[in-house]
Amino acid sequence: MKLFIDSANIDEIKEVAGWGVVSGVTTNPSLIAKEGKDFKSTILQICRIIEGPVSAEVLSLRTEDMIKDGREYSSWHPNIVVKLPMSEQGIKATKILSNDGIKTNITLVFSANQALLAALAGATFISPFIGRIEDTGHEGMSIIEEIRTIFDHYVFDTQIITASIRSPQHVTMAAKIGSDISTIPHKILKQMFKHPLTESGIKQFSEDWQSLSSYKVPQGV
Ligand code: G3P
């Protein structure tokens, strides 16, 4: 499973790029607005930091406008993926953009049937939002299992991006199910490094090594 970062914060993206294990970026209008900077220049800056798919979301609600915006975004950089909402308009636009060879990511997916529609429209990626399902008091990960089963059954190429991740456990579960990608907030990516036994183990090894290097070989031996 690949790891993407779900962020529009340049410092966060630079930091994780340095690890060499994050291979794409997803943004959404809320994440872009949080940074308060120009949309196009932010997306292009991200494309220069991480060499992989960078999702940029259309804001229009009409099919024709989504197609126009999608074509424009994709002309900015070859790694840009046009993110479109799960709706009749979004699916129609996805079909047309896919036929043009433009990469797409259908967002706000909350059911297996929505994923099926997106795959039939030729979407490159779909983004089921796990955390937001769990916010409503329902179990979230089973939708990833359902979509994986359907996509494998009919050999759809559409890749599953498990999104709206709220914990490192979500990442593990997504990997076990066979999600193609997890897109993860910076804070959760950092938490994935942590384990108390790793930290105490590093401390212990370091202390033991220090005591060895202070050992002096006796004269004449
Ligand atoms: O990639 C989707 C993500 O940005 C939504 O996450 O935490 O706002 O539900 P969240």
Which atom number of ligand 1 is nearest to the Cα of residue 161? Answer: 1
pLDDT digits (tens, 9 = 90+) for 168-192: 999 999 999 999 999 999 999 999 9
Number of neighbouring beta carbons within 10 Å of residue 41 = 10
Task: Report the nearest-CA residue for atom 8 of ligand 1.
Answer: 164
Q: Is the pLDDT of residue 16 over 90?
A: yes
Segment 89-102 mean pLDDT:
98
Q: Is the pLDDT of residue 216 over 70?
A: no
Q: Is the pLDDT of residue 221 over 70?
A: no
The encoded tokens of residue 13 equal 């993206």
Name the DSSP letter for residue 166.
-
For the chain, the average pLDDT equals 96
By CB neighbour count within 10 A (0-12 exposed, 13-18 middle, 19+ buried), where does 161 fall? Answer: buried
Which atom number of ligand 1 is nearest to the Cα of residue 131? Answer: 9
CB 32 within 8 A of CB 42: yes
pLDDT of residue 212: 83
CA 212 / ligand 1 centre spacing (Å)? 49
Percent of the chain whose predicted confidence (pLDDT) is above 70: 96
Model confidence band, residue 214 (pLDDT cutoffs 50, 70, 90): low
Nearest to 149 by CA among 160, 138, 140: 160
pTM of the entire structure?
0.94
Nearest to 96 by CA among 66, 59, 140, 74: 66
Contacts of 167 (CB under 8 A, 6+ apart): 188, 191
How far apart (Å, rounded) are the C-alpha atoms in residues 149 and 178?
10
Task: Report the nearest-CA residue for atom 9 of ligand 1.
Answer: 164
Q: Is the pLDDT of residue 25 over 60?
A: yes
**What angle do the packed helices 142-153 and 168-177 form, to 10 degrees?**
20
Alpha-carbon torsion, ordered 86, 87, 89, 91, to 10 deg: 50
Residues with catalytic roles: 83
Task: Report the nearest-CA residue for atom 3 of ligand 1.
Answer: 164
CA 54 / ligand 1 centre spacing (Å)? 15
Q: Give the H/E segment covering residue 95.
A: helix 88-99
Name the DSSP letter for residue 78.
T
Q: Is the pLDDT of residue 133 over 70?
A: yes
CA 130 / ligand 1 centre spacing (Å)? 9
Percent of the chain whose predicted confidence (pLDDT) is above 90: 94
CA 148 to chain centre: 17
CB 151 within 8 A of CB 119: yes
Q: Is the pLDDT of residue 92 over 70?
A: yes
Who wins on pLDDT, 212 or 9? Answer: 9
**What angle do the packed helices 142-153 and 112-120 form, to 10 degrees?**
40
How far apart (Å, rounded) are the C-alpha atoms in residues 149 and 165?
21
